[in-house]
Structure formats: structure tokens, C-alpha cells
């Protein structure tokens, strides 16, 4: 019971922070600083747990799994926002709507690949990291190829 | 003094629910991608299918993790979907790219 309540509070905090960042349109905390803060919080919590008598391996593994859970919660909000965009923008916006949709698809792809990479690192599943990284490398080519194909096969003909 | 199993229970519960919520979000995104792939011209459909392979691959990979549902065979399907989906999108986009 306590675990579920803790999870609910943790999810609410992480998701509210990400939703606030998306709503604001710029970073609330600079990502480079955020990484340093996260490392500091991890080290402080690890030190507290060791002082309380928990084995260092168990404490580090539990904290890293909590970090992986935070990344999964954080990755949920951009995917939901992108899905709303998929349903929201219809054909009434004209032929250029394809590029907006391509951007939305790119958000989903990038979010999924980054979640795979960081969750894989934090739970020590390096096959997940490898596939996520390979996917992350291929994404820009895929998006560019789609936009290029749309421009040369459809939009150019439309403009003539 | 904190018992190690309590700490592990907290971490495992949080990870399980986080992965479950992520998989639900990814499934909803899959519905959006499917809707996109069933309308519009060929390149839009290709983009929808590409997005669908991504979300299906990530969802299946999460299912295959031993920390969650431990469905081992889902991992091969997930890798095939993620890699071949992206490579196939690039190849088909090159095929669609005609000078009209």
C-alpha cells in the first residue's frame, strides 16, 4: 500500500514538472544543470541509505531503478502531447500539415529512443541501450527522407 | 535501520507502474499513428506506419524485460520492428521520391 502511494506522489511530481516545461515552451531548469542536480541528489540519497545501514549495492540498484521509473514517467507526457497533436491537426490546415505531422512523429520517435537508452543504462540492460542508440542514429535520416519524398512526390506537383 | 527488501519493493513497484503507464501512453500513440496511416496520401500513410512500428517496438521491448512481464520472444519482434521499420521507411521514402 505504501509503495503505491509513494509511486503516485513520485509520478505526480515528475509528470507535473515535465508538463510545466512543455507548457512553458522552454527549460525550467537547464538540462546540463539538471543532470548535475540529479547526480547530487543520487549521491546524497545513497550516502543517507548507507548511513542507515543498507548495503551499498542494494541501495544503488534501488535508487537507479527509481531513476528509471522517473524517466519512464517523464517520457509519458511528451508522447501524450504528441498524440493529442496527431488527432488535433487535420487536413483543414492545408498541404503543409505534413511537416507538422512529421515533427510530431519525430517527437514520439525521439522520446521512445531516449527512454530506451536511459532506462537501459539505469537498469543495466545494455541490449536496450544498443537498440535505442541505433534507432536514435537512424531517426533523422527517416524524418528527412519522409519530408523529401513528400516535397518531391506531392507538394511540388501541387504547386505547379 | 531500513530493511533492504522494503527499499527494493519501493523501487520495483515504482518501476512496474512507470513502465505500465508508459506502455499505455505508447498504445494511445499507436492508435493515433494507425489513424494517420489509414488516411491521406501515400507518404503520410508511410509516416503513420513508421510511427506505429516505433511505438509497437518500444512497447514490445518493455514487455520482454525480466523486471516486468518477462515475455522473452517479444524482444526479437521488438528489435525487428524498430530496426526494419526505420530502414524500411527510409527505403520506401526513396522509392516515393519521384520528380513527377
| B61 vs A122: CA distance, rounded Å | 16
Q: A with B: how many residue pairs have Cβ under 8 Å apart? A: 189
Distance of CA B40 to the CA centre of its chain: 23
pLDDT of A94:
76
Q: Tell me: pLDDT of B50 over 60.
A: yes
Residues of B in contact with A63 (CB under 8 A): 11
On whether the CB atoms of residues A78 and A111 are closer than 8 A, the answer is yes
CB contacts under 8 A, A 80-119 vs B, are 80, 82-83, 86-87, 91, 98, 101-102, 105, 108-109, 112, 115-116
Mutate to test the interface with A, among B34, B93, B99 (most CBs of A within 10 A): B93
Given a cut of 60, is residue B1 above it in pLDDT? Answer: no
B26, closest residue in chain A (CA to CA): A79
Which residues in chain A have their CB less than 8 angstroms from residue B21's CB?
A: 11, 72-73, 76
Radius of gyration of chain A (CA): 20
CA–CA distance, B82 with B90 (Å, rounded to integer) = 13
**Disruptive mutation site among B36, B41, B43, B55 for chain A (greatest number of A CBs within 10 Å):** B43
A146–B83 CB contact, under 8 Å: no
pLDDT at A91: 75
pLDDT confidence of residue B53: 93
pLDDT in tens, chain A (160 residues): 777 888 889 889 988 988 998 888 888 888 888 889 988 998 998 888 888 877 888 888 888 999 999 999 999 999 999 999 888 887 777 778 889 999 999 999 999 999 999 999 999 888 889 999 998 999 999 999 999 888 888 766 666 6
Instruction: Say which of A68, A101, A148 has its CB closest to residue B97.
Output: A148
Give me the pLDDT at residue A92, please. Answer: 75
Q: Looking at this predicted complex, what is its ipTM?
A: 0.88
**Chain B, nearest residue to A116 by Cα:** B58
Q: What are phi and psi of B43, to 5 degrees?
A: -70, -35
Q: What span, in angstroms and rounded, lies between the C-alpha atoms of B55 and B69?
A: 18
What's the grid cell of residue A53?
Answer: 545501514
Of chain B, the percentage scoring pLDDT greater than 90 comes to 34
Contacts of B100 (CB under 8 A, 6+ apart): A152, A153, A156, A157, A160
Find, in chain A, the residue whose alpha carbon is nearest to that of B46.
A146
* Beta carbons within 10 angstroms of residue A27's beta carbon: 11
Sign (positive or negative) of CA dihedral B2, B8, B9, B13 = positive
Q: What whole-number distance in Å separates Cα of residue B43 and Cα of residue B61?
A: 27
Q: State the pLDDT confidence band at B68, using cuts at 50, 70 and 90.
A: confident
Are A131 and B47 inside 8 Å of each other by CB? no
Instruction: Report how far residue B100's alpha carbon sits from residue B98's, in angstroms, rounded to the nearest whole number.
Output: 5
8 A C-beta contact, residue A114 and residue A75: yes
A102 and B47 in contact (C-beta within 8 Å)? yes
Amino acid at each position: 500500500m505504501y509503495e503505491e502511494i509513494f509511486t503516485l506522489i513520485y509520478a505526480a511530481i515528475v509528470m507535473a514538472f515535465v508538463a510545466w516545461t512543455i507548457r512553458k515552451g522552454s527549460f525550467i531548469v537547464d538540462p546540463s544543470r539538471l543532470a548535475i542536480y540529479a547526480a547530487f541528489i543520487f549521491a546524497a540519497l545513497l550516502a543517507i541509505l548507507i548511513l542507515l545501514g543498507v548495503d551499498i549495492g542494494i541501495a544503488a540498484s534501488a535508487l537507479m531503478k527509481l531513476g528509471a521509473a522517473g524517466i519512464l514517467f517523464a517520457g509519458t507526457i511528451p508522447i501524450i502531447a504528441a498524440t493529442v497533436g496527431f488527432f488535433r491537426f487535420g487536413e483543414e490546415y492545408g498541404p503543409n500539415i505534413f511537416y507538422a505531422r512529421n515533427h510530431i512523429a519525430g517527437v514520439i520517435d525521439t522520446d521512445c529512443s531516449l527512454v530506451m537508452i536511459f532506462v537501459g543504462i539505469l537498469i543495466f540492460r545494455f541490449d536496450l541501450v544498443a537498440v535505442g542508440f541505433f534507432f536514435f542514429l537512424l531517426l533523422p535520416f527517416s524524418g528527412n527522407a519522409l519530408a523529401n519524398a513528400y516535397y518531391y512526390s506531392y507538394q511540388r506537383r501541387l504547386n505547379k | 535501520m531500513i530493511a533492504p527488501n522494503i527499499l527494493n519493493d519501493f523501487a520495483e513497484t515504482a518501476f512496474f507502474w512507470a513502465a505500465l503507464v508508459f506502455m499505455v501512453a505508447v498504445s494511445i500513440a499507436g492508435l493515433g499513428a494507425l489513424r494517420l496511416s489509414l488516411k491521406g496520401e501515400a507518404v503520410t500513410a508511410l509516416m503513420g506506419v513508421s510511427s506505429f512500428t516505433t511505438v509497437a517496438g518500444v512497447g514490445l521491448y518493455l514487455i520482454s524485460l525480466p523486471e516486468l512481464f518477462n515475455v522473452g520472444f517479444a524482444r526479437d519482434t521488438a528489435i525487428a520492428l524498430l530496426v526494419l521499420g526505420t530502414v524500411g521507411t527510409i527505403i520506401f521514402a526513396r522509392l516515393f521520391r519521384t520528380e513527377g
